[in-house]
Structure 1
Amino acid sequence: MSSRAVMTVIGKDRIGIVAEVATMLAEHKVSIVNISQQLMDDYFTMIILLNAELCTLPRMQFCEFLSVEGEKRGLHIRVQDEELFNAMHRI
Structure 2
Amino acid sequence: MKIVITVVGQDRVGIIAMVSNILADHNINILNINQNIVDGFFNMVLIADMAAATISLKELQQILTSRGEAIGLDIKVQHEDIFRIMHRI
What is the TM-score when the length of structure 1 is the normalising length? 0.90
Whole-Å Cα distance in 1 between the matches of residues 76 and 57 of structure 2?
12
Identity %: 39
Aligned length: 89
Aligned to 1:87: 85
Distance apart, 1:40 and its partner CA: 2.1
Q: Which residue of 1 aligns with 2:2?
A: 4
Any idea what the Cα deviations from partners look like across 1:51-82, whole Å, max 9, x if unmatched? Answer: 11122112211101110111122221101111
User: RMSD value over aligned CA atoms?
Assistant: 1.1
Aligned equivalents of 1:14 and 1:52: distance in 2?
Answer: 27
Matched letter for residue 14 of structure 2? G
Pair 1:62-2:60 in alignment: yes
| Post-superposition offset of 1:85 | 0.9
Q: Could you list the runs of 5+ residues in structure 2 that have no partner in the other structure?
A: none
State the alpha-carbon separation in 2 of the partners of residues 61 and 36 from structure 1: 24
In the alignment, does 2:10 pair up with 1:20?
no
When normalised by structure 2's length, the TM-score is 0.91
In structure 2, the partner of 1:73 is 71
* 2:58 partner amino acid: M
Describe the SS at the equivalent of 2:78: strand
Give the secondary structure class of the aligned counterpart of 2:53. Answer: coil
